[in-house]
Amino acid sequence: MPVMMIRGGDLDLVEYEFRSFLPGEIQKTLGLEKKKYKLAPRKGKVLVKAPARIHLSVLDMNRFAPDHAGGGGIGFAIQCYCTAEAECTKQGLVIDYNRSAIIENFVAVFSKTVGYTGGFKIKAADHQKKHVGLGSTSTVMIAVATAINEAVGAPLTNAELRRLIGHNYVEETSDGKIAFGFETGVGPAASTHGGMAVMGDELVLVYHHPFAEGKNVFIVLPPSDISSAGTKEFDLLMNRARTLDYRDRELKAYFFMMDLIPALERADLKKIGDIIWEIEFRGSKRAEVEHHSYRIYQYMSMLREAGLEFVGMSSVGPAIAIITERDKKALAKILKPIGLEIAIETKVDNAGMKVTHRA
């Protein structure tokens, strides 16, 4: 596995080795395994439908790493879904999903945590938009985690599931194994509760609120040949982004607490859009946008100048989220001379994850 350098400051340069491992080989149960759980495995299937998320910004990149979840941040749920269904079996594990290793790993962690000794049959489906900033991995994982938790009688709370996912968050590696990835908890929180989620460090949900009810959400994918995954993502987030957050994290926190939350309370989409636009130029978000070249800023600036209320890049991009009262036809007229097209037309999901049971 590659060895990457992390620069945390002028006199802080360390090496980080991406260690790959087999599913279930490293299990972080966070002390939750010390509790006594009364398991009640259900008959039949548990079905979970979880909305994807737009991750607008991390609060402080210095507070998380591939094997240390946290960092805080903000994001919101959209009506673009991943699904999971699970049922208890006497033994074994059957997974119907093309990324079975990440599910196998979490099932091992979950089973050890709650003391479940039976098996599972699991089927999952994601939204097929990978590595563009819509959080396919985190959305699938909260859907699967909720499904298996419900299947054995819901021993863990939503917050405990979010922590367990975050500290055991993995991505596949080129050698067929898995390695720890980046997780702030924004995705699982937004998917679970719907609306806008504001996260503190250690995956703590600080605040959530319905957002942009009835407004239209459009996702556009600007052309970019820059990778937002693997070692490219590591180099971006662990170096320049950390340096910029040392400078701007206090300002970003001020924006979240003093401007964003009040604007959410009064449903002021224009003010929220103005705050997000400021965030695009601050700290780690600036590093994420510049990662795809200044052309992304140019695209977003032209969209703002056209009068669109909310424009922001999701996660490490290159997906740009637009929220507006204008319809698809009106937006298409704005996008055409810019050279962009609508990739996804949707709305904010303010209901959050839905769980149903089937005999």
The position carrying tokens 């979950």 is 110
* pLDDT for position 151: 98
Q: Tokens at residue 144, please? A: 């699967």
- Would you place residue 4 in the very low, low, confident or very high pLDDT band (cuts 50, 70, 90)? low
Please list, residue by residue across 87-108, b when 16 or more beta carbons sit within 10 angstroms of its beta carbon and e when fewer do.
bbeeeebebebebbbbbbbbbb
CATH of 216-346, one of 3.40.50.300, 3.30.70.890, 3.30.1490.100, 3.30.1490.20: 3.30.70.890
Q: Tokens at residue 124, please? A: 């999952």
Task: Say whether 216-346 and 36-210+350-358 share the same fold.
Answer: no
Predicted TM-score (pTM) of the model is 0.91
CATH code of the domain made up of 36-210+350-358: 3.30.230.10
Residue spans per domain, the chain: 36-210+350-358, 216-346
Q: What is the pLDDT of residues 280-335, one digit of tens each?
A: 999 999 998 988 878 899 999 999 999 999 999 998 878 899 999 999 999 999 99
Q: What is the pLDDT of residues 99-150, one digit of tens each?
A: 999 999 999 999 999 999 999 999 999 876 665 567 789 999 999 999 999 9
Distances (CA, A) of 62 to 8, 56, 160, 283: 7, 17, 23, 11
Q: What is the pLDDT of residues 237-295, one digit of tens each?
A: 667 888 899 999 999 999 999 999 999 999 999 999 999 999 999 999 999 898 887 88
